[in-house]
Amino acid sequence: MNKERDREQSEDKLINAVGELIAEVGFEGLGVNQVAKHAGFSKNLIYRYFESLDGLIYAYMK
């Protein structure tokens, strides 16, 4: 696997985690630590790939 493919898979996992958590707790209950834990990554990866939780939510909404 190459790094680009690894990144795509990681991004997909994070985006899916956001969707699952929104269904469970809604937008109000969503936190960066919760998303990272649910996806099995550190929150630093969210900031590296999406710059913020809002950026990740935006990617989910696209």
- pLDDT at res. 3: 87
CB count within 10 Å of CB 48 equals: 12
Q: With pLDDT > 70 as the criterion, what percentage of the chain qualifies?
A: 98
- What distance in Å separates the CA atoms of residue 46 and residue 51, rounded to the nearest whole number? 7
- pLDDT at res. 10: 96
What integer is the mean pLDDT of 6-12? 96
Average model confidence (pLDDT) for the chain?
A: 95
Place of tokens 């990617």: 59
What integer is the mean pLDDT of 37-56? 97
What homologous superfamily does CATH list for 3-61? Homeodomain-like (1.10.10.60)
Domain coordinates of the chain in residue numbers? 3-61
Residues contacting 54, CB < 8 A, separation 6+? none
What integer is the mean pLDDT of 11-22? 97
What global pTM score does this model have? Answer: 0.91
